[in-house]
């Protein structure tokens, strides 16, 4: 079992880790702030995002992009200030969430599929949004039940997306204009009797894929929001390795980084349903060494 190194405790809900230029950037979603970790220096604030930060990426100039969840914008840190990169209110029915760079200065971003702040709303499938380098946004791909972590692979030809509450990783072909086609399963962790059935997914006991990252051998490290820690998975769904979550907690996002690319960073928080995540500071950022470095 890998030995976990605790980097930072007292977080509300860490999410969206990304390794850039020798630093790990991550969001504290309910703490409403973005942080940066550097080995030997520690964790330092990047800036506040009042409407809750989640996914992180960089634009063509290297400026940090952040999913601003509740106002459904992609915002950009420029010279220490926040500005709007893309307004997605007309395209995303729920809070914007995880995102990934498209390799051309733009991003793919998911959303909850429902208004999580409204007690009458019901979770429903939703579409990804592609935002190009100029901030122009369009819906792409087929509807997905709670799209979550995503990576671009195969030299920019394929997008992999965690479909959390259908218990699988999907793959899409990426067209030259950023649109998505040829949807297919990359890995299935539970054969749903009824597609998009939230209760079935939660009761399945299977992996609920949340954040994901890619290693050099083409395998994915997957954060299991269902509480089984982080799992390394090959195409087709074979589990190759596992890092258990600390007792009573779950891993919600992962990233590979470090000087050699072989440090797995894990965003950890209370297991789903065990605490009010908006009102606790039980989240933490931890890490361990793995055998295969980042892609």
Instruction: Tell me the CATH number of domain 5-289, given options 2.120.10.30, 2.60.40.10, 3.40.50.2300, 2.40.50.100.
Output: 2.120.10.30
pLDDT (tens digit, 9 = 90+) per residue, 203-238?
888 999 999 999 999 999 999 999 889 999 999 999
Give the rounded distance of the alpha carbon of 18 from its chain centre.
9
Instruction: State how far the alpha carbon of 94 is from the alpha carbons of 3, 113, 221, 272, 275, in Å.
Output: 37, 5, 26, 19, 22
Mean pLDDT, range 92-111, rounded to an integer:
97
Q: Would you list the domain boundaries of the chain? A: 5-289
In the predicted model, what is the mean pLDDT of residues 169-191? 98
pTM of the model: 0.96
Could you give the residue ranges of the DSSP H alpha helices within 113-221? 198-203
Q: Please state, in angstroms and rounded to a whole number, the distance separating the CA atoms of residues 252 and 150.
A: 13
Rounded to 5 degrees, φ, ψ at 164 are -55, -50
228, 207 Cβ separation under 8 angstroms: yes
- Top pLDDT among 276 and 131 is at 131
* pLDDT for the residue 114: 86
pLDDT in tens, 236-275: 999 999 999 988 899 999 999 999 999 999 999 998 877 7
- How high is the pLDDT of residue 203? 87
What is the DSSP pairing of strand 158-163 with strand 147-153? antiparallel
- Work out the percent of the chain whose per-residue pLDDT is above 70: 98
pLDDT at 126 over 80: yes
**Angstrom distance (rounded) from CA 105 to CA 291:** 31
Reference 97, options 46, 44, 60, 57; nearest CA is 57
User: Given pLDDT bands bounded at 50, 70 and 90, which one contains residue 118?
Assistant: low
Return d(Cα 129, Cα 88) in angstroms, integer.
8
**Coil, helix or strand at residue 65:** strand
């Amino acid at each position: 079992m890998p030995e976990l190194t605790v980097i930072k405790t007292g977080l509300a809900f860490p999410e969206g880790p990304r390794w850039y230029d020798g630093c790990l950037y991550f969001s504290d979603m309910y703490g409403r702030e973005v942080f940066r970790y550097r080995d030997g220096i520690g964790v330092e604030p990047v800036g506040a995002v009042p409407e809750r930060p989640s996914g992180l990426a960089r634009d063509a100039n290297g400026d940090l992009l952040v999913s601003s969840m509740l106002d459904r914008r992609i915002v950009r840190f420029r010279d220490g200030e926040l500005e709007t990169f893309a307004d997605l209110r007309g395209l995303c029915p729920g809070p914007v969430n995880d995102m990934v760079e498209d390799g051309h200065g733009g991003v793919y971003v998911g959303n909850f599929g429902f208004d999580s702040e409204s007690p009458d709303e019901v979770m429903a499938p939703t579409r990804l949004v592609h935002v190009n380098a100029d901030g122009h946004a369009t819906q792409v791909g087929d509807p997905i039940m709670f799209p979550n972590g995503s990576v671009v692979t195969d030299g920019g030809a394929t997008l992999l997306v965690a479909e959390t509450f259908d218990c699988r990783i999907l793959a899409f072909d990426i067209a030259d204009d950023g649109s998505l086609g040829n949807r297919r399963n990359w890995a299935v962790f539970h054969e749903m009797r009824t597609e998009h059935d939230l209760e079935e997914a939660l009761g399945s006991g299977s992996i609920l894929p949340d954040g994901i990252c890619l290693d050099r051998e083409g395998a994915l490290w997957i954060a299991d929001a269902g509480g089984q820690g982080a799992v390394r998975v090959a195409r087709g769904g074979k589990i190759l390795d596992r890092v258990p979550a600390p007792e009573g907690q779950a891993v919600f996002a992962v990233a590979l980084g470090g000087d050699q690319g072989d440090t797995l960073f894990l965003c950890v928080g209370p297991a789903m349903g065990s605490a009010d995540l908006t009102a606790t500071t039980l989240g933490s950022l931890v890490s361990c060494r793995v055998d295969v470095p980042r892609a």
